[in-house]
Structure 1
Amino acid sequence: MRTVIHLSDLHFGRTDDSIIAPLIAQVHALEPDLVVVSGDLTQRARSSEFKAARQFLDALPHPQLVVPGNHDVPLLNVAARLLQPLRKYRRYIGEDLQPVYMDDEMVVVGINTARSLTIKDGRVNDRQIEMARRQLAAVGEHMVKIIVTHHPFDLPAGPQHHDLVGKAAPAMRAFAICGTDVLLAGHVHTSSAVSSAGRYDIPGYSALVVQAGTATSTRGRGESNSFNVLRIAAHQIEVHRLAWEPAQSAFALAATQAFEQRGNEWFETRPVTDVAPTASATHPPTGTAPG
């Protein structure tokens, strides 16, 4: 079994500083095999914000897989936005915009969906889709295959102020061919975990689509700061959402969902479980999803 911490939408420049140290401590306590950050590390792509984000990442466990978000592209500096949109991201965070992590049980591929010609929307292109397909198709079927983007392939229930990532439909068809299991994203500042079958009708295939809320920023949209802990095994995944509790100065377990794979499709086997605010956040429960 692997433990993946899924953080998103840090927005350094608009953070709640009281959250930073407890978050770092709790992520360490969870002893993750991988820390994923699905974009928007900064609020306005300023050097000072990237430096703060870099300091935060350096304080977290490694290995890490990080992708940029639309806020990591300069907004007001038009020349930088058009000519070198991710120059500061590359300098402070990482040169690789399609990073890959692989161990004996899982392979994780990041895709940059941030674009300079849009303010908040994002997209994948044919080259990125094909590269990810080849990377995931090259590993054995026993591996859990994960894609990380900033912009989502599905949207949480409720009123929407965002769009799906551009070219989502052809990307999903390619992901079906190579057997992608999980799609991790952020952007909407709302948590969810659902089967892709609700949006994409691909016979005999569905992936688990997991959205993370904003881990550290003050730009909440009706949901507390939160992050996800994924417990991943072959054909079974648990998604735990940990939400910030100011009275405890800690992230507390707020909900758990369990999924299992049958054939090439993922199904929820245990519904969302709301947990009392006093529940322990340091060690979410582990176990085997029921058959």
Structure 2
Amino acid sequence: MMKLIQVADLHFGRECKPAITAAISAINSLQADALIVAGDLTQRGKTSEFEAARDWLSQIPLPQIVVPGNHDTPMLNLYARAHEPFKRFCELFGEDMQTLKFPGLKIVGLNTARGWQVRRNWAEGSVNLDDLQDALGDTPELKALVCHHPFRPVPGAPLTTRTKRGARASQAIARSNVRMLFTGHVHQPAIQNWREEGGQYLAIGAGTLSDRLREWPPSFNEIQLNSGQVQVIAHAYEGTRFVPRKLGTFTL
């Protein structure tokens, strides 16, 4: 069995201090194979917030893949947000989108965040289809994709997403060898088997470890992969500890 941990929306600067502290031992106790970080490490894209996120991640000794979110751009520096939005992120986490490779599975990162867009809500996601095609590649191996924004709106979520070119991206990965899409942004754990013409994939969203809560307490996901079966368990912070809640089991 392979086990992955998925976190998102850490929002250092607005982190839930008791939950994010307790999450270190909770995650480490699960003895997973890798940690997936699906964006929004910071609240305002400040250097001190990125350093706090880096220090927190350094306490989880797992192979990690980290992608930026819309909050990982300089919120108060409009020039930097427009011209070099991910400079601070790249200084600590690298300029290239990361990749993790395991026997039978390759996990690939994709940046769907933008520092600025010509639309009212600049925080919404946007998929560069050329970048997506590069991430998909042309190899037959099973893949998972990590980005911050869901491609399709999450059913029942308190936040409706409008990811630019998200529908086309969803259709593209359904036709590809990608079988799991790991995201954040809506601050609520969820799993959905998306069916598109030509294929399907699992959209797996993580909650938040910040105090910017919607309908769920702070949480992270545990994903168990076993002989083509995928079980997703959300670990919710209740009182002083994380309590597992099964979200569902699916076949890849």
TM-score computed with the length of structure 2 as normaliser: 0.93
**Match in the other structure for 1:202:** 197
Pick from 241, 250, 268: which aligns with 2:241?
A: 250
**Match in the other structure for 2:166:** 168
Structure 2 regions of 5+ residues with no counterpart?
none
- Please tell me whether the aligned partners of residues 133 and 178 of structure 1 are also in contact (alpha carbons under 8 angstroms): yes
Taking structure 1 as reference, are residues 23 and 210 closer, same or farther at Cα in structure 2, changes over 3 Å only?
Answer: same
Q: What is the root-mean-square deviation in Å for CA atoms of aligned residues?
A: 1.5
Pick from 126, 129, 136: which aligns with 2:129?
A: 126
Alpha-carbon distance between aligned partners in 1 of 2:157 and 2:10, rounded to the nearest angstrom: 23
Alpha-carbon distance between aligned partners in 2 of 1:252 and 1:159, rounded to the nearest angstrom: 21
**Match in the other structure for 2:226:** 233
Which has the larger displacement, 232-241 or 77-86? 232-241
Alpha-carbon distance between aligned partners in 2 of 1:122 and 1:151, rounded to the nearest angstrom: 5
**Match in the other structure for 1:48:** 48
Which has the larger displacement, 105-114 or 148-157? 148-157
Alpha-carbon distance between aligned partners in 1 of 2:175 and 2:156, rounded to the nearest angstrom: 30
Q: Secondary structure at the match of 1:222?
A: coil
Alpha-carbon distance between aligned partners in 2 of 1:234 and 1:159, rounded to the nearest angstrom: 30
Alpha-carbon distance between aligned partners in 2 of 1:10 and 1:240, rounded to the nearest angstrom: 18
Q: Secondary structure at the match of 2:58?
A: helix
Once the two structures are superposed, residues 26-65 of structure 1 have per-residue CA deviations (whole angstroms, 9 ceiling, x without a partner) of 1111111110000000000011111100101111122000
- Please tell me whether the aligned partners of residues 8 and 38 of structure 1 are also in contact (alpha carbons under 8 angstroms): yes
- Please tell me whether the aligned partners of residues 133 and 174 of structure 1 are also in contact (alpha carbons under 8 angstroms): no
Q: CA deviation at 1:18?
A: 1.2
1:179 and 2:177 are equivalent in the alignment: yes
Alpha-carbon distance between aligned partners in 1 of 2:241 and 2:54, rounded to the nearest angstrom: 22
Letter in 2 for 1:101: L
Taking structure 1 as reference, are residues 159 and 67 closer, same or farther at Cα in structure 2, changes over 3 Å only?
Answer: closer
Q: CA deviation at 1:160?
A: 4.8
Q: Secondary structure at the match of 2:175?
A: helix
Letter in 2 for 1:3: K
Alpha-carbon distance between aligned partners in 2 of 1:103 and 1:14, rounded to the nearest angstrom: 34
Q: Secondary structure at the match of 2:232?
A: strand
Taking structure 1 as reference, are residues 178 and 49 closer, same or farther at Cα in structure 2, changes over 3 Å only?
Answer: same
Alpha-carbon distance between aligned partners in 2 of 1:62 and 1:158, rounded to the nearest angstrom: 32
- Please tell me whether the aligned partners of residues 38 and 66 of structure 1 are also in contact (alpha carbons under 8 angstroms): yes
1:1-291 to 2 correspondences below 5 Å: 1-96=1-96, 98-118=97-117, 119-134=122-137, 137-140=138-141, 143=142, 145-158=143-156, 160-197=158-195, 201-203=196-198, 205-214=199-208, 216-246=209-239, 249-261=240-252
Once the two structures are superposed, residues 100-143 of structure 1 have per-residue CA deviations (whole angstroms, 9 ceiling, x without a partner) of 11111211011011112143111111221110121xx3143xx3
Letter in 2 for 1:233: N
Computing the radius of gyration from Cα coordinates, the structure with the larger value is 1
TM-score computed with the length of structure 1 as normaliser: 0.81
Alpha-carbon distance between aligned partners in 2 of 1:109 and 1:165, rounded to the nearest angstrom: 19
Structure 1 regions of 5+ residues with no counterpart?
262-291
Q: CA deviation at 1:231?
A: 0.4
Q: Quick check: which one's strand share is greater?
A: 2
- Please tell me whether the aligned partners of residues 2 and 105 of structure 1 are also in contact (alpha carbons under 8 angstroms): no
- Please tell me whether the aligned partners of residues 11 and 43 of structure 1 are also in contact (alpha carbons under 8 angstroms): yes
- Please tell me whether the aligned partners of residues 12 and 52 of structure 1 are also in contact (alpha carbons under 8 angstroms): yes
Alpha-carbon distance between aligned partners in 2 of 1:173 and 1:156, rounded to the nearest angstrom: 16
- Please tell me whether the aligned partners of residues 156 and 191 of structure 1 are also in contact (alpha carbons under 8 angstroms): no
Say how many residue pairs are matched: 248
